[in-house]
Amino acid sequence: MKYYILFGPPGAGKGTQAKQIVEKYHYLHLSTGDLLRQEMAAGTELGKKAAELINRGDLVPDEVVEGMIRNKIASNRDVAGFLFDGFPRTIAQAEALDAMLTEFGGKVDAVLSLTLPDELVYERILHRAQIEGRKDDTDRSIIENRIATYHDKTEPLITYYKGHGNYREIEGNDTIENVFAALCGILDE
């Protein structure tokens, strides 16, 4: 069983690349954003709480996200691997994921980090809002908060995973095809 993390700022192209990776390698894509949006669309209590936090640009509590991830891994033991997207976002989540994967007899094989300058993050998120109609992608102050949260809470994971020797960086400001080719080069190693 393979476990990969697709990492990068909001709007870096993780969702686009994840679709192609899943199609080629038959991994299960675990996007915390998608899981939370499903809960919000269903109007569950978790969904209502998540909507409130996401609409402010804040993160959903760790125990909620970790529970969703654990359930998906436990109920999908017959797949070739997992591609995490949007998780982990903090050192505490990374440590929880390491412990969780150990219980399942695995470890993070590689962190695939898409890099992108902040100004391009703004442009891509605003463009995505027009295409997908995502309300959380239309307000500049919310986008600024998401970028600040990424720098403050999520970027420390770079050092964490570099320390584990499994961090790989890919320039996200390239064509979709070139980014995918770079990702495949890592996945095929």
Peptide bond into 10 cis (omega under 30): no
Tell whether 13 is in a known binding site.
yes
188 is in an annotated binding site: no
Residue 168 labelled as part of a binding site: no
Is 14 assigned a catalytic role? yes
Ligand-binding annotation for 104, yes or no, is: no
Number of H helices, E strands in the chain: 9, 5
Residue showing tokens 């998120």: 125
Catalytic residue among 49, 107, 134, 153: 134
Q: How many CA atoms lie within 13 A of 58 on its CB side?
A: 9
* 124 is known as an active-site residue: no
Residue 140 is assigned to a ligand binding site: no
Catalytic residue among 2, 14, 56, 72, which? 14
Residue 32 labeled ligand binder: yes
**90 marked as part of a ligand binding site:** no
Q: Indicate the helix (H) or strand (E) that contains 19.
A: helix 14-25
Please give the order of strands across the beta sheet that includes 110-115: 28-31, 81-85, 2-7, 110-115, 167-171
Q: Which of 128, 135, 162, 168 is catalytic?
A: 128
Flag whether 174 is marked binding.
yes
Helix (H) or strand (E) holding 169: strand 167-171
Q: Does the active-site annotation cover 89?
A: yes
- Dist. CA 31–CA 21, nearest whole Å: 13
Is 37 annotated among the ligand-binding residues?
Answer: yes
Helix-, strand-, coil-residue percentages of the chain, each rounded to 5: 60, 15, 25
179 is in an annotated binding site: no
Any binding-site annotation on 156? no
Catalytic residues: 14, 89, 128, 134, 146
Which residues are annotated as part of the binding site?
A: 11-16, 32, 37, 58-60, 86-89, 93, 128, 134, 146, 174
Which residues are annotated as part of the binding site for AMP?
A: 32, 37, 58-60, 86-89, 93, 134, 146
